[in-house]
Structure 1
Amino acid sequence: MTKVLSKKDQLFELVRANPYISQQELADQLQLSRSAVAGYLSSLTKDGRILGRAYVLPDRSPIVCIGGANIDRKLRSLAPLQMGTSNPVSQHESYGGVARNIAENLSRLGAATRLICAVGDDAAGQSLLTHAASVGIDADASLHVPGALSGSYTALLDDAGELVLALAHMELCEHLTPAFLRSRQQQWAHASMTVADMNLPLDSMQLLLDEAKRGRTPLIVVAVSQPKMARLPEDLTGLRLLILNQAELSQRYGKTLTHHDEMVTAGRQLQAQGAQDVMITLGDQGVLVSHRNQGDAWIYAEAAPVDASAVVDVTGAGDAFVAGVCWSLSEQPFDLMRACRRGQQLASITIQTTATVAQHLHPTLFDEEPQCIPT
């Protein structure tokens, strides 16, 4: 005799089949009200059968992203910039922050994703967390700082869409202290992968490295700017992968690096300090990639081809690259070149859109040939 499932169990099976199904879709398929669906989801969460608002199943460990979340403001000049005077610009606002951008890319690609960040008690902070939940990111472990303004990032782009100047107000990340991270250890200790941006304080970066040494969770660290390279500890033992650009590498190395052989030498120094692998991004010139599993090899990967006329703006491309790398490594942990190619594919999609995170990403993206995505 076939057992008839209760509505609660039917809902659970739908979530198991598609962890990113919306409440409205659940309501339509089960012929329930939205409030009834919300009640069943709450009950399943209390039972431990699903975890958090992203409907993450207990056997589906999330990728945990720790670091910056803020409001992005992009100002793009309508004509060649002239210094010392007023320039007409267009303005676009979106959600940003390195860790948050990586998390959104990953979630849109179908990965179970958790974000640990700091927001103020203002409308921007509430909006950041509401938006995270709407795209499937579990941000429940994030810190709310009373009386503080949420972070902001203002980018000035020239008339070709290239970054001229960026102003980052990221003071709230200073509250992501070791004590706070320990208070959220349950939320990140069992991740399938931890991705940390270097908005975190130095001692917090050290804590994550120490935990990575002891556990099996891969740690990927993402540089965010030259000044914040000072937040990268000297001993990098436990670090699975460090992703940084040419200028950030030069900052760490203590001299300007211009040739590939110089950058490889500096990258090998990072490996000697404990990093298993290093990716050095060179913008539209490609990526230099180490691969310790292939001896002392370093490989140069050309950038994915993009017609210059298709470039809208480059904001978010670096974060998209990191997300593509992380998604790929979560599926195939030792194939660094495939991860690099997928990162480049995601970056090329992003620079062809007006959004910091391309809105047309989906879980089967990497099953397809690279293509342009509508803006």
Structure 2
Amino acid sequence: MLKRVSALIIRRGLSTFQNDSVFRLHPSVSQALAEKRPVVALESTIITHGMPYPHNLSTAREVEAIVRDQDATPATVGVIEGKVHVGLSMEELDFLAHCAGSVKVSRRDLPYVVSQGLTGGTTVSATMIAAQRAGIPVFVTGGIGGVHRDGENSLDISADLTELGRTPIAVVSAGVKSILDIGRTLEFLETQGVCVATYGTSKDFPAFFSRLSGFTSPYQVSDPDKAAQLIESALSLGVHSGVLIAVPIPQEHSATGQRIDRAIQTAVAEASSQGIAGKHVTPYILRRVNELTLGKSLQSNIALIHNNAKVGSQIACALSKRMKEGKSSDALHHPAKQSQSSIVVIGGMNVDFIAKGKTKTLQFGQTNPGSVCQSYGGVGRNIADCLSRLGHRPTFISATGSDSNADAVFNYCKHMDTSGVMRLEGQSTATYCAVITENGELSLGLGDMDVHQQITEQYVSQFETQLLSSTLVCLDGNIPASTIKYVCSVAKRHNINVWYEPTNSEKACKPFLSDAWKSLSYTSPNLAELCSMNKTLGLQTPEVLPNSLEQVLSLAVALSRPLLEHLHCLVVTLGKNGVLVCGEHHAGSINMKPRKEAKTRTLCAVHYPALSVAAHETMNVSGAGDSFAGALMAGILQGRDTDTCVRMGLLAARLSLASPHPIAPVLTTHSIEPDRFEKHSWPTRRFMWID
């Protein structure tokens, strides 16, 4: 049940969405999104609570027709018998319009309405959740909720405002309903970090029935393309807050100020005297104002909704056009994919300085000839970068300072989802300096990694919904042991696969300081790190590591055996000797598919020799292991067989070694596709049983 409820607010992709047990995507909406055509989300409380029948049904149909006339696809959102529908058929619209016992569904109400199989109309906040999950960036409504009059005492503040502060959707509305405290509403939106702009020639902020509220917007956009530019920038920044585009009601339908104000004052007073509160206030006041104005307010309401639908559709079309012409960022080209997160990566994000000598040996205490380049690394960042280049959209959680190094690394990582990376005042962004010899061997490394200690359990817990929806969680050894323990505890409770990527022998032991390691599914240590893991558990390890391949493989198998009592799969990286994959025997190889449950297994190991790389071609050794791990994870998530997964990893590592960057910018799914290479070109693997 917990996973089902959590799924309502977890960002996931279109393919998952279509098969979801709670959400339903109408075929017309699904097709439009797949073809990257403009889609406009529409709310349904206007049908269930905003207007009387038959005006509610006719208006809903008219609004959808307007959207289609502008060459966009309407996606009216509603809850029908516990299922959240994004896009409704004519029969479903009619059902909602006639449903007498429908619920007004906000974010708060979604879990209960779904669990009880109820029917209802979605408010702005609930519609935003569904639209963002489906990958629809533009949502049209009449007017948003806000701070109610006397809200400073009652604290009656609409969930629409907080939703705008945490959900990256563009909301097109006629400003804020005039029955509310508009000044305080705008102040609250500013506090929530919501970008507000008036559509048209002025900054005057509209008030639903009226073009003027007496307040101004911070910004103004004059046409659909300018609005699309604003939305594009907001989504590209990954700031996790929405945009409010306030569209004034057409002049000819603007209500006369004094008449509407008197009606509102009367309705508000009546609602207060009758004890009407909460979500019942707005429907009551709108209905009463319509009665007091002899239907004039309803006519204005319908007119402004029609106008919003037209403007919002034009904005959605402009945004879609920018995407197709390549004007927007890669994330916007795949809005549904942007919300997809089948993997979470938690770890370091660094600025790297790589100094490579031009001689076989380096002389300490004097200046050596060489070259120095700047790149961007961090084990967690490298793995997330690799996955991002291989068709995934991992949620990356990390921490940086608020300095020029942070600006540089964020600018470089625009192709990644960095919305989970916090920037901290007074902290320095992690930096790493590696000095390598002419043949690529690491001579000396220095790192300032203190900021990684800020990736605390408390910070990571904010992403628990993403953790619960993930297929795999990857942790790097730079994060605190307490954070590793927390993630492992969540993984144990919810049967989530965790990959631990150690960064050195000292940090390799972090999960093994407690029983947290028993909740790991995968880990990829080198031989020294594997020794450290065993030693932390009190097991005997050699003082000196062997040199011959036979002895290395024998030791790696022996040290892997006790860890496989709980781990699903262990990948031992052996440098020039390749990799050793240990785990459950399956069809002459290792079963690397994500583990679903613990069971008795027959264990084996497979050794894969490394791919040859000429010494003069080696430019950077800092990211080869991370490239290998990231590509291996990508193969596992794609359901590839073990040989293919490992070979993808080896090819990615080879590309990394030949690049000045830890993750080669030329890395693509095509560049590491093993089928591109002749089978006989692969070094022969070696199979071994584990007692």
**Normalized against structure 2, the TM-score is what?**
0.46
Aligned to 1:104: 385
Give 1:226 shift: 1.1
Are residue 166 (structure 1) and residue 445 (structure 2) matched? yes
Matched, 1:291 2:583: yes
What is the SS of the residue equivalent to 2:660?
coil
Task: Give the percent of matched residue pairs that are identical in Structure 1 and Structure 2.
Answer: 25
Cα deviation, residue 140, structure 1: 1.1
In structure 2, the partner of 1:325 is: 632
Alpha-carbon distance between aligned partners in 2 of 1:338 and 1:184, rounded to the nearest angstrom: 32
- In structure 1, runs of 5+ residues without a counterpart are 17-31
Residue in 2 that maps onto 1:39: 231
Equivalent residue number for residue 49 of structure 2: none
Name the CA shift for 1:45/1:264 in 2 (closer, same or farther; >3 Å): same
Write out per-residue CA displacement over residues 119-139 of structure 1, whole angstroms, 9 at most, x where no aligned residue.
Answer: 01112123322332x21x111
> Alignment partner of 2:564: what SS?
helix
Counterpart selection for 1:74 from 345, 354, 377: 354
1:68 maps to a residue whose letter is G
Could you tell me which residue of structure 1 aligns to residue 656 of structure 2?
350
Q: 1:227 aligns with which of 488, 500, 506?
A: 506
**Superposition pairs for residues 82-231 of structure 1, below 5 Å?**
82-132=363-413, 134-135=414-415, 137-231=416-510
Per-residue deviation, 1:310:
3.0
Contact 1:289 1:337 survives alignment (8 Å) = no
User: What SS does structure 2 have at the residue aligned with 1:54?
Assistant: helix
The structure 1 residue matched to 2:331, chosen from 54, 77, 84, is 54
Distance 1:263 1:349 in 2: 26
> Are the aligned partners of 1:103 and 1:323 in contact in 2 as well (CA < 8 Å)?
yes
- Does the Cα contact within 8 Å between 1:141 and 1:187 map onto a contact in 2? no
Render the CA deviation track for 1:306-327: whole Å, top value 9, x for unaligned. 3444333322101100111110
- Taking the aligned partners of 1:293 and 1:61, their CA distance within structure 2 comes to 29
The question of whether the paired residues in 1 share the 8 Å contact of 2:472 and 2:497 is answered with yes
Matches within 5 A, 1:253-332: 253-254=534-535, 255-256=541-542, 257-258=545-546, 259=551, 260-272=553-565, 274-294=566-586, 295-332=602-639
Contact 1:218 1:240 in 2 (8 A): yes
Change (3 A) 1:66 1:212: same
Cα gap change, 1:306 to 1:35, in 2 (>3 Å) = farther
Report if aligned partners of 1:109, 1:365 keep a CA contact under 8 Å in 2.
Answer: no
Deviation at 1:228, TM superposition (A): 0.9
Counterpart-to-counterpart distance in 1, 2:242 and 2:471: 23
Distance 2:226 2:620 in 1: 39
Gaps of 5+ in 2: 1-64, 75-131, 137-223, 244-328, 536-540, 587-601, 679-691
Larger Rg, first or second structure (1 or 2): 2
- Which residue in 1 is equivalent to 2:155? none
CA distance in 2 between partners of 1:66 and 1:53 (Å): 23
Number of aligned residue pairs: give it.
Answer: 346
| Higher normalized contact order (CA 8 Å, seq sep 6+, divided by chain length) | 1
**Which has more helix, going by share of residues?**
2
The amino acid across from 2:570 in the alignment is: V
CA distance in 2, matches of 1:280, 1:131: 31
Change beyond 3 A, Cα 1:221–1:292: same
Query: Structure 1 residues 331 and 158 mapped into 2: Cα distance closer, same or farther (>3 Å)?
Result: same
Moved more, 35-44 or 139-148: 35-44
Alpha carbons of 1:161 and 1:307: their partners in 2 closer, same or farther (altered >3 Å)? closer
**1:243-258 matched pairs, under 5 angstroms:** 243-254=524-535, 255-256=541-542, 257-258=545-546
- Alpha-carbon offset, residue 164 of structure 1: 1.2
Q: Is the deviation greater in 259-268 or in 80-89?
A: 80-89
Conserved in 2, the CA contact under 8 Å of 1:53 and 1:138? Answer: no
Alpha-carbon distance between aligned partners in 1 of 2:564 and 2:437, rounded to the nearest angstrom: 37
> Aligned partners of 1:172, 1:339: CA distance in 2, in Å?
33
- What TM-score results when the alignment is normalised by the length of structure 1? 0.83
C-alpha RMSD over aligned residues? 3.1
Q: Could you tell me whether the CA contact under 8 Å between 2:341 and 2:395 is conserved in 1?
A: no
Displacement of 1:210 after TM fit? 1.3
Contact 1:72 1:154 (8 Å CA) reproduced = yes
